[in-house]
Every structure is written in structure tokens, then in C-alpha cells.
Amino acid sequence: MTDSALSKFAGISIAAMLFGLQPIPAKAQVAADVQNRSTESNSSQSERLEEEAANHPRDSALLQRLASAYAAEGDLASAKRTIDRALTLFPNDNDLKMANANILLWQGQLKQARLQADDVAKNHPDYPGLAEFRIALKRAQDDRSVRMIGAAVNVGISDVSFPQRSSQTWTTQVASASFRLSDSGSLTTTVDMEQREQSDIRLVAEYAHRLENGFISVEIAATPDADFRENWSIKAAGQINLSRSVSIIADGKLADYSTNMVFALGAGLEYRPAPDLFFTARTINLFGGGESYRFGAALRGDYRPEGKAGLFLLAAEYPDTETDGTRQLRSFAGGLLVPLGKGWTFRLTGEDDRRENSYHRQAINFGLSWRFGGS
């Protein structure tokens, strides 16, 4: 619909997964590691432990100490990744389970943290660290309040040519903020302004809810005095993880334009052959817009290594609706994502869109995003 291919096929919002609390170490070893920072810098400690872990990859105590060092540095993503690696090797180790429970607690994933601790308490109700964990969990539950967990800004400029008139320059400015509402729910608000010959400001609110094996979201958008965008729209989307490597994705969107109303229904699969490699295939089926039915599809590949620069490529052809009606749009896009540390990420993307009997748009976009608890 007037969303670019990048936003249309970007996938489901993950704002619901970005919760965070400050670390509250619950085990004596964790506390000792944190105290050691007075004689050794955080970064040198984790680097040293990483080297030791490379030489002793099956040492559960060493992996736990490495996770503690990462947590002390505020790098909860690396701490969780390290504990997950240890639990893969030693799934019945209660020390590792408690360390995992604490990291989940620090990340704000209270339900998952409680379930992990309950698994330990089932056979060991007086296990060391359980009492302290439950106090910290109760304090976190009592202190639950709406708080910001992420934000992003994006600016773009496009060179747009037309078949029978002069070319134009279009610009976009997008700002969004995400707020945690509960252990499994978040709200993301977005202001999206685009300047063509006229200007439209689109206001968006999206609620995302995390499930045991995926997540769902509902989005409501409105464009006051719309010139080329929809007057209003409502969208529902979801993802179900069938396995560690395969997920089903689906979405539906109803949008009202000044000249017509359209309904778009999409479905697809996401395949993850490796932890940092994603392939997504999606379809879009559009009803209305002056025609009974139109079909579109998109293919996207993402490389997202933890803590390193990533990239993506996208190819799509789909029915695009504006106030002048529905036309097929062919799009190619690519981008680079560069983590800057402390939860900050820089994005650089480029797009080439050809809208049937309408325009040819070449765009470049710059973005900066932040998420709470990021490494």
C-alpha cells in the first residue's frame, strides 16, 4: 500500500522482546566476579575468560564465569549466548540453570526467568541462590512500569522520475519509540512524514505480544488530511516458530484511501540455516483497489552476526495502492547494519522502485536505532 518494500517486507516487530533490568547477581561466584572489577577492567576480564573458554570449551564453571563477566559489563546478549552454549553441553546443571534464570531476569523476561528457577526448585527447593532470586523477581514484578525499551530515527531522500513530467525529490523522516507494557507486551509508536508535491504525516501505534513459540502484533495507523497515503488502516500480524530453523509468518491489513478501500493478506516462511543467517519468502494478496485481485511476492536474505556488521538483500513485486489506484511495484533493496555498541545500531539502505505507469524511485536512507540491554 504506500509503505515501501523495505517496511512492507521487514518482518514482524520485535519490540516485545526488548525488555531489560539492571543486573542483580544471585550467586556467590557472580558477585565475586563483579567485585574483581576493582582490580581488572571488565573488557580485559571477559577477553581473558574468552581465551580460556576457547581452550577449555567444556568447562561449565568457566563458561558461567564468562557469562558473569559479560553481565557485569552490561553485555546481556553475550551473557545469555554464553549460558545457552553451556546449557547445550550440560542441560541438567542446576548452577547453569540458575545463572540462566538470573540473566533472563536482568533482561526483563520475568516469566521465562521464573519458569527456569521453578525447574530447579522442583527437585531442589533449597538450592543456593533460589531465595535471593525470588526476592529479586518479586521486586522486579512489583516495580513493573511502562518504560522505554527502544527508539529509532530514519531519514531518506529519493530521486523520482516520471514518464511525462519533470523529476522530483522526495524526502522521508521517521521517528519511533518502543515501550514495555508487560513481561510479554510492548507498544511502539511511530511518526512517519513524507514530502512529495504534498506532505503526509502518518501516525502509527503497534502492540506486540510475545508467545511461547512466536509473537503476534496489531497495528493501527492514521494519516490526517491524507494526500497520497491511506486515511486509516488496521493490521494484524504474527509468527509461529515450527522449529529452531523454520517459522510461519502471516499478516492482514485493511486500508481506506480517499478513492477506494483495499484488503491485503500475506503469508510466508522464514528459514534460518544458521544462527546469523535468515531467508524469508512472502506473498501478498490484494483485494479491492479497483480490481478484484492482485498478487505479489518478496524474497529477502539477512546476515546478522551477533555484535558485528550485517547486511540484507530484498527483491519484491507486489500491488501498491495510493490515491491514484493500485499498480504493480517492482522493488530491489539492500542495506548495511553496523552495531555501534551500548545498544546503538547504524543503518544504511538503498532502494530502487518502479511503479507501473507511475514513477521510478531511487532512494537512500540513513537510520540510527537504540534498544535497552543491547550489546
Q: What is the pLDDT of residues 328-370, one digit of tens each?
A: 999 999 999 999 988 899 999 999 999 999 999 999 999 999 9
Mean pLDDT, range 238-256, rounded to an integer = 95
CATH topology of domain 5-17+146-371: Porin (2.40.160)
Which band of pLDDT confidence, cut at 50, 70 and 90, is reported for residue 260? confident
Mean pLDDT, range 251-266, rounded to an integer = 93
**Is a pLDDT exceeding 70 seen at residue 104?**
yes
Question: Cα separation of 361 and 11, whole Å?
Answer: 22
**Percent of the chain's residues with pLDDT above 70:** 86
Question: Cα separation of 104 and 80, whole Å?
Answer: 8
**Is a pLDDT exceeding 50 seen at residue 34?**
no
SS3 readout for the chain: CCCCHHHHCCCCCCHHHCCCCCCCCCCHHHHHHHHHHHCCCHHHHHHHHHHHHHHCCCCHHHHHHHHHHHHHHCCHHHHHHHHHHHHHHCCCCHHHHHHHHHHHHHCCCHHHHHHHHHHHHCCCCCCCCHHHHHHHHHHHHHCCCCEEEEEEEEEEEEEEECCCCCCEEEEEEEEEEEEECCCCEEEEEEEEEEECCCEEEEEEEEEEEEECCEEEEEEEEECCCCCCCCCEEEEEEEEEECCCCEEEEEEEEEEECCCCEEEEEEEEEEEEEECCEEEEEEEEEEEECCEEEEEEEEEEEEECCCCCCEEEEEEEEEEEEECCEEEEEEEEEEEEEEEEECCEEEEEEEEEEEECCCEEEEEEEEEEEEECCCC
Q: What is the pLDDT of residue 28?
A: 35
**Judging by DSSP bridges, how do beta strands 277-288 and 291-303 pair with one another?**
antiparallel
Which band of pLDDT confidence, cut at 50, 70 and 90, is reported for residue 144? low
Q: What is the pLDDT of residues 201-210, one digit of tens each?
A: 999 999 999 8
Q: What is the pLDDT of residue 69?
A: 87
Question: Cα separation of 225 and 216, whole Å?
Answer: 30
Q: What does the angle CA 31 – CA 370 – CA 237 come to, to the nearest 5 degrees?
A: 110
Q: Lowest-pLDDT range, 65-74, 226-235, 299-308? A: 65-74
Higher pLDDT, 274 or 19: 274
Boundaries of CATH 1.25.40.10 in the chain?
Answer: 28-142
Higher pLDDT, 373 or 83: 83
Boundaries of CATH 2.40.160.40 in the chain?
Answer: 5-17+146-371
Q: Lowest-pLDDT range, 61-65, 121-125, 140-144, 162-166? A: 140-144
Give the three cell numbers for residue 360: 521510478
- Does CATH place domain 28-142 in 1.25.10.10? no
Mean pLDDT, range 40-66, rounded to an integer = 79
Q: What is the pLDDT of residue 308?
A: 92
